[in-house]
């Protein structure tokens, strides 16, 4: 509990710094105010769909994930995060209430995936880019989501959780509703593939427990993830409508693409706070980011279009391109939303193929 409070203070301190930075940029002229003035990258990392990678490329990526899971954490501000990988998960747990159902949901997660990709290359010598998982290809296929290549025990991330191998914690500190834990989704431990019996130290929810990687694949999410659902999402004309439908928010009665993907994988991935404990989180969010990029490219005016509130609690303020995306101290530099909008401009420099 004391550690949680310390983390919260740390986070509030960061928010204060952000406020100072934001007011400073508001009063000084910004040469990059004009979006069209942004330089383009000289080279782009090519993010590919998981099934189009060669077996060697798949292995290199999985090895890089395992490498991040074995590298020590660099920031002592998260005592529970022992590995570099866990540092990313810890920061998502800490900030989840501030980065979902807000205007910067898509920009924040774009930055987060990009910094994870950067950490793999900087700390682990990974040479590739973060792949994405286009689940619509599996949801459209008669074989369905349960036969997706990502579940392969040899060339993928391993398959479903084994029923009866995991029990959710209970006790006076555990409130499933407050922690957004869906018990039915925690089917069991993943026992095949590269993450068989892999140990997580963070989650589920806001808990910090030592447990196996849990999944509970829910193939019934296919209607939320097929190409019809993607086309319907992309048909929304304003960023405001598009981001709400893509994310899927509590007031919507059905899961949308983003929420649908989290719930289809289930277990740790289904949790609002601790989901990045599941390595597929980054392939799922890569695809969410790709769909946003597709939407952005449909009209020139969409490249820098943002909207939405900056917090989920009053007083409400609308985000602008100057709004700072917080990344803590260890994941990488915090940047204004403007900097992540064009993935072909620095500091992004990647594309989807
Ligand atoms: C659990 O959390 C929910 C939502 O925050 C709250 O309404 C409920 O009262 C809590 N239950 C207990 C037993 O504390
Ligand atoms: C995972 O743990 C279970 C239970 O301890 C054990 O039966 C199983 O052999 C382990 N699997 C691997 C791949 O280590
Ligand atoms: C935020 O923007 C919406 C329109 O997108 C507008 O109705 C609302 O008044 C704005 N809120 C504030 C606090 O500026
Ligand atoms: Cu998230």
* Ligand 2 pocket: which of 153, 191, 199 to mutate (most atoms within 8 A of CB): 191
CA of 8 to the centre of ligand 3 (A): 29
Q: Read off the CATH number of the domain in which 166 is found.
A: 1.10.1280.10
Of 171, 178, 183, 206, best ligand 1 pocket probe by most atoms within 8 Å of the beta carbon: 178
Per-residue model confidence (pLDDT) at position 250: 60
On whether residue 39 sits in a domain, the answer given is no
Q: Is residue 331 part of a domain?
A: yes
Question: For residue 146, is it within any domain?
Answer: yes
Give a yes or no: residue 248 inside a domain.
Answer: yes
Cβ-Cβ contacts under 8 Å for 187 (sequence gap 6 or more): 160, 161, 162, 163, 166, 214, 215, 216, 217, 266, 267
- Asked whether residue 15 carries a pLDDT value surpassing 90, the answer given is no
Inside any domain, residue 38: no
Asked if residues 180 and 244 have their Cβ atoms less than 8 Å apart, the reply is no
d(CA 144, CA 186): 21
Q: Looking at the domain assignment, is residue 30 inside a domain?
A: no
Residue 188 pLDDT > 80, yes or no?
A: yes
Tell me, yes or no, whether 96 lies in a domain: yes
Domain with 218 in it: 45-352
Domains held by the chain: number: 1
Bridge partners of 203, per DSSP, are 208
Which ligand gives the minimal distance to the CA of 244?
3
Higher pLDDT among residues 255 and 246, named by residue: 246
What are the pLDDT digits (tens) for 191-244?
Answer: 999 999 899 999 999 999 999 999 999 998 899 999 999 999 999 999 999 999
- Residue 348 forms part of a structural domain: yes
Task: Please tell me the number of Cα atoms within 13 Å of 290 on its side-chain side.
Answer: 22
Round to whole Å and give the CA distance between 21 and 19.
Answer: 5
| Closest listed ligand to the CA of 315 | 3
Q: How many whole angstroms separate alpha carbon 289 and alpha carbon 34?
A: 23
Indicate if the pLDDT at residue 171 is higher than 50: yes
Q: Does pLDDT of 23 surpass 70?
A: no
> How far is it, in rounded angstroms, from Cα 267 to Cα 40?
40
Q: Which ligand is nearest to the CA of 179?
A: 1
**Could you tell me the distance, in angstroms and rounded to a whole number, from the CA of residue 328 to the centre of ligand 4?**
15
């Amino acid at each position: 509990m004391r550690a949680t409070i310390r983390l919260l203070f740390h986070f509030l301190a960061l928010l204060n710094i952000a406020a100072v930075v934001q007011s400073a940029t508001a009063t000084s002229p910004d040469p990059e105010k004009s979006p069209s003035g942004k330089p383009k990258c000289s080279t782009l990392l090519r993010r590919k769909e998981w099934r189009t990678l060669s077996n060697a490329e798949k292995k290199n990526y999985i090895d890089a994930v395992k490498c991040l899971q074995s590298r020590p954490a660099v920031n002592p501000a998260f005592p529970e995060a022992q590995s570099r990988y866990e540092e990313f998960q810890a920061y998502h747990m800490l900030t989840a209430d501030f980065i979902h159902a807000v205007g910067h949901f898509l920009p924040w997660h774009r930055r987060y995936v990009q910094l994870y990709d950067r950490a793999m290359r900087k700390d682990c010598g990974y040479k590739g880019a973060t792949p994405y998982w286009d689940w619509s290809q599996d949801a459209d296929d008669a074989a369905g989501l349960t036969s997706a290549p990502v579940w392969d025990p040899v060339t993928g991330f391993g398959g479903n959780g084994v029923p009866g191998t995991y029990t959710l914690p209970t006790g006076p500190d555990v409130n499933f509703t407050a922690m957004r834990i869906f018990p039915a989704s925690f089917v069991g431990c993943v026992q095949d593939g590269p993450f068989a019996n892999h140990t997580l130290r963070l989650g589920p929810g806001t808990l910090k427990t030592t447990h196996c990687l849990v999944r509970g694949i829910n193939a019934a999410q296919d209607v939320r993830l097929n190409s019809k659902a993607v086309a319907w999402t992309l048909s929304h004309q304003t960023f405001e409508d598009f981001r709400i439908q893509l994310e899927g928010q509590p007031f919507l009665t059905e899961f949308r693409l983003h929420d649908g993907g989290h719930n289809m994988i289930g277990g740790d991935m289904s949790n609002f706070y601790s989901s990045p404990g599941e390595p597929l989180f980054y392939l799922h969010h890569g695809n969410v980011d790709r769909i946003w990029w597709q939407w952005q490219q449909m009209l020139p005016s969409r490249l820098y279009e943002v909207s939405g509130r900056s917090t989920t609690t009053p007083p409400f303020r609308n985000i602008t391109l100057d709004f700072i995306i917080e990344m803590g101290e260890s994941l990488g530099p915090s940047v204004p939303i403007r900097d992540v909008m064009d993935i072909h401009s620095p500091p992004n420099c990647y594309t989807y193929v």
